[in-house]
Structure 1
Amino acid sequence: MNPILAILKENNISDKQVSELFQTLTQNPLAAMATIGQLGLPQEQLQQLMTQVMQNPALIKEAVEELGLDFAKVEAAKAQLNQQ
């Protein structure tokens, strides 16, 4: 399992919340970071998750594919983030 998804599952984040998080990530990466912060993860795991999200975009792609979402939207969101 993808390490990002594993951390979320480990902390009993529902499938619905995980899907919503990645939908937000595809539409607005900055909002997704705020959403991740509101999930109630322990500080150590929150920091680990944020580090993985920021440093390894391939993990995001893997998670999006595991969830059956549209990766093209993730790429568009990433481009939008890079423009800011």
Structure 2
Amino acid sequence: MNPILAMLKEHNISDAQISELFQALTQNPLAAMATLGQLNLPQEKLQSLMEQLMQNPALIKEAVEELGLDFSKVEEAKQRLQNN
């Protein structure tokens, strides 16, 4: 299992909430950050998660694919952010 998904499940984040988070990520990464903040993860876990993502951004793609979402939507959202 993807380490991002494993950490979220470890903290009793439901599959629905995980899907919502990654759906937000594919549509609007800034909104995904707000959604992530609402999950009430311990600060140290959130920091660890962010460090993992910064060191290995491919984890996002793996998690999105594992959830059956369209990674091309993540790339489109990233482009929109870079253009703004």
Q: Same fold (TM over 0.5)?
A: yes
Q: In the alignment, does 2:51 pair up with 1:30? A: no
Structure 2 residue aligned with 1:67: 67
Question: CA shift at 1:66, angstroms?
Answer: 0.4
Label 1:34 to 1:40 Cα distance change in 2 as closer, same or farther (>3 A).
Answer: same
Runs of 4+ in 1 over 4 A off after TM superposition: none
Report the identity percentage: 79
Structure 2 residue aligned with 1:6: 6
Cα RMSD for the two superposed structures: 1.3
Structure 2 residue aligned with 1:40: 40
- TM-score when normalising by structure 2: 0.90
Instruction: Give deviations 1:32-77, integer Å, cap 9, x for gaps.
Output: 0111111010110011122333443211100000000111101101
Which 5+ residue runs of structure 1 have no aligned equivalent? Answer: none
Q: Secondary structure at the match of 1:69?
A: coil
Q: Secondary structure at the match of 1:36?
A: helix
Structure 2 residue aligned with 1:82: 82
| Bigger mean CA offset, 58-67 vs 73-82 | 73-82
The one-letter code matched in structure 2 to 1:75 is E
Label 1:78 to 1:55 Cα distance change in 2 as closer, same or farther (>3 A).
Answer: farther
Equivalent pairs, count: 84
